[in-house]
Amino acid sequence: MPRIILLVAVITACARVLPSSSTPAAPAPSLLPVPLVEGPLAPRVVYPRANAVIASRDSNFIFGSVGNGRASLTVNGSPVHVLRNGSWIAFLSNPRGAAPAYDLVVVLGTDTARLSHPIRLLSPRSALNESGPLTADSASITPRGTLQLRPEELVTVSIRAPRNASVWLTSANDERWPLLNGGELDNEAQNAADARPLSRYLNSPNYWSLAVPARFLVPVGTPRIVVARGQDTLEFGLAAIDTVAHDRVSLALLAPSAAASDTDQVIMGRAIPAGTYKWFLLPGTRLRLTGRNGEFARLQLDDALEAWVSTADIVLLPEGMAPPRRVASNARVLPQPEWVDIIIPTGERPAYLVEESERSLTLTLYGTQATTDIIRYPSGDSLVRLVTWEPVSSSRVTYTVHLSQKPFGYLVMWRDGNLVFRVRRPPRVDLSRPLRGLTIAVDPGHPPIGATGPTGLYEAEATLAISLRLRTLLEERGASVVMTRTTSAPVALSDRPIMARRANAHALVSIHLNALPDGVNPFNAHGTGTYFFHPQSAPLALSVQRGMVATMGLRDLGIYYDNLALVRPTWMPAVLCEGAFIMIPEQEAALRTPQFQDAYARGVAQGLEAFFRGLEQPR
């Protein structure tokens, strides 16, 4: 179970949903009747766990079981529908008071069972009263953590404080600059050489902010925020900030702690600290260090672009070491039976990015100049039609590989001073039995972690049963199947796509069951969804999604681009299936049955067949 589908979460958050323990919607036609359980009363809460912190401030879902499908249930006085197997789910206002808890009362005839289930709430936001003792929200202060920036880089200094207060920044030499609130300033009208406000401000009367060059927040510990009203004054020290001089060259070597070949191990580059992944860089790449923000380091990809990586993935090189000089020279195209290598000598590993188009792949090399005079081609290769190159700037070059058909898969490797761009040939498909002779990697999602349903069905148990059934169906259709696990033993998340790549799989399918984050109404947000990351995988995601919706009959949530580990492989189309919601009682009950497990597996198998049957054939 990765993340909840963002579109659904946004829609739910935007609509005002009143807390309710309303009866669940009618089950999908393919769901079997829930069997009757008539055991002793045994109230149990599966989620949230006892003493867990609820991540929503007003309402949340709670689910579990009561042991008997004929019993009635109230939670904090609200009636809750109980299924025939004793499972239930409700969406209620969060409990309040000094010791918040969900109080369950289960009744069957003359028998009554009670359970008080304690939880914890988010700490309340600091009250910003306009009278009485002066307060400010110290948890809202920025900057936070350790920063290392260029002297002229703008840093937002901010705090939540009462709107009738005065707030200012005091520098090392006791100069004072006021923070502003509740409006916007025109950045272009400001002069970056002084400390007047430079940033835009949130339209909130309690949010005070100011953008100043980093050099004004040095030396460490001296600059401070002052909040004043009448005779009351509060002072807050700011985070440590160091500056990086333009003439200081610090190089970082990308060096992950895990040892693996460079076809499997990459360093994740982000556009912002802690942001989503954009670049997948080779270990051993040397890049200039230009800043730090907490646990992230900023590296210069070329003269116009920077990226953030985890500080755990870099090793600092000796101060003053000359930056690498990368020059892409004459390239060659080397066909092999299952792929084509485009070999580009660059001398040093470059940072790179691959972008897919309808019938081409574009490889961007950062921090690289090009002097490619000759590109040697074989005669008459059926896949690669042409390779062209273009200097985008003095420190960036692109190589575009023009193909005879849509991209199917690729790898980027480093071999003996050469960057090797390996483009995979699509498999030849027997249209009467499209999976015959293919290798399909099947990944039963989890463990570790994973979701649990109202009666205690663990996601990893159900995904394994579905995946084993899928293996049988695929083998019956002539495919060879590689399983990332066949037992309940945990398999590391990072190992699973490596297993698929090393097996030379033609597709990777990861089987999961979904759940929701705190605060989302479960009666409005559940169904079947499929995730992909690279464009080459979107057609497979759509095909598998159609297959699952047809066989399981649940709500069609569509397909989603998402940056998940199991859909990031580039060597084959890869998708992650969230076929059902294990937290929904009717769906959890169905997931315990061989019939529904088979329906899930059949939907995926049919989707794989349809995808490969429609795959453009090699010429």
Cα–Cα distance list, 15 to 8, 11, 68, 521, 524 (Å): 11, 6, 35, 10, 11
Q: For position 251, what pLDDT does the model report?
A: 92
Location of each CATH 2.30.30 domain in the chain: 251-316
Find out if CATH 3.40.630.40 is the number for domain 439-613: yes
Q: What are phi and psi of 399, to 5 degrees?
A: -120, 120
Strand partners, 156: 211
Q: For position 28, what pLDDT does the model report?
A: 60
Nearest to 91 by CA among 83, 106, 102: 102
Q: For position 5, what pLDDT does the model report?
A: 37
Q: For position 2, what pLDDT does the model report?
A: 45
CATH architecture of 326-424: Sandwich (2.60)
N- to C-terminal Cα separation, the chain: 40
Nearest to 105 by CA among 59, 71, 63, 69: 71
Q: Which residues are CB-neighbours of 546 under 8 A, at least 6 positions away?
A: 607, 610
Whether pLDDT at 185 is above 50: no
Q: For position 273, what pLDDT does the model report?
A: 95
Whether pLDDT at 189 is above 60: no
Q: For position 204, what pLDDT does the model report?
A: 76
Whether pLDDT at 508 is above 80: yes
> Mean per-residue pLDDT for 34-39?
97
Percent of the chain's residues with pLDDT above 70: 89
| Average pLDDT value for the chain | 90
Place of tokens 């939907």: 603
> Mean per-residue pLDDT for 197-202?
39
Amino acid at 283: P
Q: Is the pTM of this model over 0.75?
A: yes
Please tell me the total number of residues recorded for the chain in this structure.
Answer: 619
Nearest to 541 by CA among 566, 516, 504, 517: 566
> Mean per-residue pLDDT for 394-420?
97
What band does 215 get if pLDDT is binned at 50, 70 and 90?
Answer: confident
Burial 383-409 (b: 16+ CB within 10 A, else e): bbeebebeeeeebbbbbbbebebbbbb
Q: For position 256, what pLDDT does the model report?
A: 62
Q: For position 378, what pLDDT does the model report?
A: 86
pLDDT tens sequence across 110-122: 999 999 999 999 9
Whether pLDDT at 225 is above 90: yes
- Tokens coding 161: 């404080």
Location of each CATH 2.60.40.3500 domain in the chain: 326-424
251-316 topology per CATH: SH3 type barrels. (2.30.30)
Q: For position 27, what pLDDT does the model report?
A: 54
Q: For position 221, what pLDDT does the model report?
A: 56
Q: What are phi and psi of 530, to 5 degrees?
A: -135, 140
Q: For position 144, what pLDDT does the model report?
A: 86
Least confident of 33-37, 273-277, 568-572, 614-618: 614-618
Q: What are phi and psi of 612, to 5 degrees?
A: -75, -30
What's the rounded Cα separation, in Å, for the pair 143 and 114?
A: 48
Q: For position 181, what pLDDT does the model report?
A: 85
pLDDT tens sequence across 512-531: 999 999 999 999 999 999 99
Whether pLDDT at 10 is above 50: no
pLDDT tens sequence across 42-56: 999 999 999 999 999
What's the rounded Cα separation, in Å, for the pair 391 and 412?
A: 20
CATH architecture of 137-243: Sandwich (2.60)
> Mean per-residue pLDDT for 556-562?
98
What band does 24 get if pLDDT is binned at 50, 70 and 90?
Answer: low
Location of each CATH 3.40.630.40 domain in the chain: 439-613
What band does 287 get if pLDDT is binned at 50, 70 and 90?
Answer: very high
The burial class, CB within 10 Å (0-12 / 13-18 / 19+), for 65 is buried
Q: Which residues are CB-neighbours of 30 under 8 A, at least 6 positions away?
A: 551, 552, 553, 554, 590, 596, 599
Place of tokens 């890049």: 287
Whether pLDDT at 3 is above 90: no
Whether pLDDT at 195 is above 60: no
- Tokens coding 533: 């990351």
Least confident of 73-82, 167-176, 372-381, 576-585: 167-176
Q: For position 452, what pLDDT does the model report?
A: 98
Q: For position 617, what pLDDT does the model report?
A: 79
Find out if CATH 3.30.70.20 is the number for domain 35-121: no
Q: For position 538, what pLDDT does the model report?
A: 98
Location of each CATH 2.60.40.10 domain in the chain: 35-121
Of 451 and 247, the structure prediction assigns the larger pLDDT to 451
pLDDT tens sequence across 327-377: 999 999 999 999 999 999 999 999 999 999 999 999 999 999 999 999 999
